[in-house]
Structure 1
Amino acid sequence: MVYQHISEDRKWCAMQLWEQGWPMEDICSSLKVGQSSVYRWLGILEEFGTVIAPPARPRGRPSLLSRLIVNDLVDIFVDPVSGSQASYLDELQLHLALKFDLNVSTATIDRHLTAAGITRKLLHKIAKERNEADHERDCYRRYGRSLRGMRADSMEPFDRGTRVSLVAGIDKTGYIAARAIEGALDGKAFYDFIVDEVLPQMNAFPAERSVLILDNCNIHHSEMLREVV
């Protein structure tokens, strides 16, 4: 039998005729419906008080993230005061663990954010006055999230900050000398480090720490350093 849509009015009409005592054959013949349909509508009417069954409840395991929790995550990306559009998924994962005592995967968080209209995109950096307590450029983030169709902004200092060069000497047991130098490390600074920090801890061959090994960087092989070594 070919399926045909039966309007709610016809279903109610069938129920009224049944209540009035009409035989089932006459109801089906008058309304052009099947007996099984009429009996099904009678069951729905008895159970729900209407001839239209309510929508079936969604099946499957309930989501770990309720609407309240998802809204809390969305606020992180849309709140201009306390939010941060550069937040990472693992940071959101920690946020949920601390605030809601939930352990969910980053994939789950990403899926719920996308469903809520929060999408990943390149950050648009906005210059701000440098803060010494803030991250420098080597910690900047390239990607963030915001509402679909809107730009993701990040307030960041454009000052590159102070560059520091590190130099160290090691043996088989670990570090024996180390020095941090503001700016680039030149030949004079490297010479001073070797003379002041490394050579005092070395001994004449063939004793322990009697061989100095350097790479092929030019400033490591100056004539002045060769003479003192």
Structure 2
Amino acid sequence: MMVTEGEWDIEDVAEVFGVLTRSIARWEEQFDQDGFYTHHKGLAGRPRRLSAPVVEEITKLLQENPSLYLDEIIDWLALTHEQPISIGALCDNLRELGLTWKQARNIAAQRDEFVLIDESGKDGHTMIRNYGRAPKGSTPEVEVNHDRGIRYSILPALTLDGYIALHVVEGSVDSEEFFDFIISDV
């Protein structure tokens, strides 16, 4: 401010510092008013679509249920936070959080049960989601309810020449039924 009070013309000062004369006038005005000048740096770029608390909630939501699809997250944001967002903007936000889309490891909801049986079966297992979001370096874990609807079990007796016996039941096969199959059919 002392430069403009001396012999220097305001246009010359603006040229030396590479600023506009309006900037120097604004600085002088603030200096005269407050006794000092503080540079207020403006925000760079567009404001964030999602606030920090919402981003934190999304992170918690994806930790609890990492297999959510983008449209499900968008619906959750709209219902919970009244926050509309495009799929592209949501993808950008998830990428900034370090969350990537990768194949999930399915964990049985009934982890204490471990049964090995000699049977083949078919059920409604096809609806389980095999992909989810997780931070880089970790695998998403999805709790899966193994209630798969109607299950059909098949007990075949197979030799090198082909099938010699076949037993199909609705549901799973227990040890008594397996033993009866061996005694009566094989």
Distance, in Å, in 2 between the alignment partners of 1:116 and 1:45 is: 43
User: 1:141 Cα deviation (Å)?
Assistant: 0.6
- Scaled by the length of structure 1, the TM-score of the pair is 0.46
The verdict on how the C-alpha distance between 1:67 and 1:138 changes in structure 2, with shifts beyond 3 A counting, is same
Question: Structure 1 residue aligned with 2:40, among 50, 54, 79?
Answer: 54
**1:61-210 to 2 correspondences below 5 Å:** 62-78=47-63, 83-129=64-110, 137-156=125-144, 162-163=150-151, 182=170
The verdict on how the C-alpha distance between 1:36 and 1:96 changes in structure 2, with shifts beyond 3 A counting, is closer
1:24 equivalent in structure 2: 8
Larger radius of gyration: 1
The verdict on how the C-alpha distance between 1:87 and 1:45 changes in structure 2, with shifts beyond 3 A counting, is farther
The verdict on how the C-alpha distance between 1:85 and 1:42 changes in structure 2, with shifts beyond 3 A counting, is same
1:190 equivalent in structure 2: none
User: 1:108 Cα deviation (Å)?
Assistant: 2.6
In structure 2, the gaps of 5 or more residues are 112-123, 153-168, 172-186
Aligned residues: 137
User: 1:89 Cα deviation (Å)?
Assistant: 1.5
**RMSD (CA atoms):** 3.8
1:34 aligns to what SS in structure 2? helix
The verdict on how the C-alpha distance between 1:143 and 1:38 changes in structure 2, with shifts beyond 3 A counting, is closer
User: 1:94 Cα deviation (Å)?
Assistant: 1.9
1:43 aligns to what SS in structure 2? helix
Q: Any conservation in 1 of the 2:101–2:133 contact (CA below 8 Å)?
A: yes
User: 1:84 Cα deviation (Å)?
Assistant: 0.9
User: 1:163 Cα deviation (Å)?
Assistant: 2.7
The verdict on how the C-alpha distance between 1:46 and 1:105 changes in structure 2, with shifts beyond 3 A counting, is same
- Scaled by the length of structure 2, the TM-score of the pair is 0.54
